Structure 1
């Protein structure tokens, strides 16, 4: 796998023809960049054991074995499937948003990327979607289990829950997300608490990436 392609998510979007949709909606493109940076900042902070003050990380020696480069790629590219959901009018198809994970998986498969990267797309929604969830909720997805498999995927999934795609983007505390996910069942709350116990409490004290914070540490990491 060429690591250079992983870091330049913009270049990958251009090569796959997927960057034209969000450019029709500058606000959506800015929102997507902010979210990628927010997720990466939280994942970096949870994993980094080196005391990098820019990200105010938690020291987590039990996560030292994780592939930091793969985590970074997953953070920056897990939502690539969203770009397939923009119509010719530049509007996002919110009704099919749940499909963005498998759509991203398809994009990377077509580009020849391995499952180690594709899984970040199809395995990050909520705290995981099961075949039972899809059938019971009549979701527009092929019935299957879309669950994080590797610990890198689980870390990106957890970090993803700490940053919203709202305008302006905001951080979401673990308690806030637990309250949000409860509407889907207590099993989802339990699954989230397992992630919380595994990775710890995220640092939500810094500036929210995007919307005036383009030059923060995560933006620098994004430029890599």
Structure 2
């Protein structure tokens, strides 16, 4: 399987981004997530993972967010939960393989189950959207440490654990399992690569 390189993925973002502001917000977030994943990959016990695949997964995982912007550049927060599935559809239309499309549709939270969707009345086809491979799990995990609604700062592991606790103890346990598997990244200072123009769109997104 041929994996697209960062320049090709950036071109896809530019193609689908409705505005320069949306591109800056989403693509920067994806780059930040890759930076976090790359740091975690330096652990010897993760050396067997496919770094190129993880890089592509990180850089592509949120591309579906672009489809949630309206003609006025406003983000549809009510249907934000759909961004993963929308990204899966974008990559399918672009002819990218399922192994890459799954990084979009299977990274939300610490995984969505059919039961979650039915019980919460989420606007998604009832199914399990769970990270299965180690590469999928690492992309999902790295995504938890940065949010597009606070683009110039990281989220700590404890902050995310507190956030996910509102969805139940099982979600906290799932996050802690990922934490035990991959470790805590060292996150200090401002987010690398954050551009000032993103501040105007900061309130429009979330991880």
Q: Is the 8 A contact 1:155 1:199 kept in 2?
A: yes
Equivalent residue in structure 2 for 1:87, among 63, 66, 70: 70
Q: Offset of 1:29 from its aligned partner?
A: 2.6
Q: Match for residue 141 of structure 2?
A: 158
Q: Is the 8 A contact 1:38 1:208 kept in 2?
A: yes
Q: Match for residue 204 of structure 2?
A: none
In the TM superposition, what whole-angstrom CA distance separates every residue of 1:4-57 from its partner, at most 9, and x where no partner exists?
45642221235xx412x133xx2x332213211211111000002xxxxxxxxx
Q: In the superposition, relative to structure 1, how do residues 43 and 100 fare at CA in structure 2: closer, same or farther (>3 Å)? A: same
Q: Is the 8 A contact 2:26 2:63 kept in 1?
A: no
Structure 2 residue 195 is the aligned partner of structure 1 residue 198: no
Structure 2 residue 109 is the aligned partner of structure 1 residue 109: no
Equivalent residue in structure 1 for 2:24, among 18, 30, 46: 30
Q: In the superposition, relative to structure 1, how do residues 4 and 124 fare at CA in structure 2: closer, same or farther (>3 Å)? A: closer
Q: Is the 8 A contact 1:169 1:208 kept in 2?
A: yes
TM-score (norm 1): 0.82
Q: Offset of 1:80 from its aligned partner?
A: 0.5
Q: Offset of 1:209 from its aligned partner?
A: 2.4
Structure 2 residue 6 is the aligned partner of structure 1 residue 9: no
User: 3-state SS of the aligned residue for 2:100?
Assistant: helix
TM-score (norm 2): 0.88
Q: In the superposition, relative to structure 1, how do residues 108 and 212 fare at CA in structure 2: closer, same or farther (>3 Å)? A: closer
Q: In the superposition, relative to structure 1, how do residues 90 and 212 fare at CA in structure 2: closer, same or farther (>3 Å)? A: closer
Structure 2 residue 110 is the aligned partner of structure 1 residue 127: yes
Q: Match for residue 202 of structure 2?
A: none
Output the CA distance in 2 between the equivalents of 1:158 and 1:108.
Answer: 21
Structure 2 residue 61 is the aligned partner of structure 1 residue 78: yes
In the TM superposition, what whole-angstrom CA distance separates every residue of 1:45-85 from its partner, at most 9, and x where no partner exists?
0002xxxxxxxxxxx22111111000000111100000111
User: 3-state SS of the aligned residue for 2:153?
Assistant: coil
Q: Offset of 1:130 from its aligned partner?
A: 0.3
Output the CA distance in 1 between the equivalents of 2:141 and 2:6.
Answer: 20
Q: Is the 8 A contact 2:24 2:195 kept in 1?
A: no
Cα RMSD (Å) of the superposition?
1.9
Q: Offset of 1:175 from its aligned partner?
A: 0.8
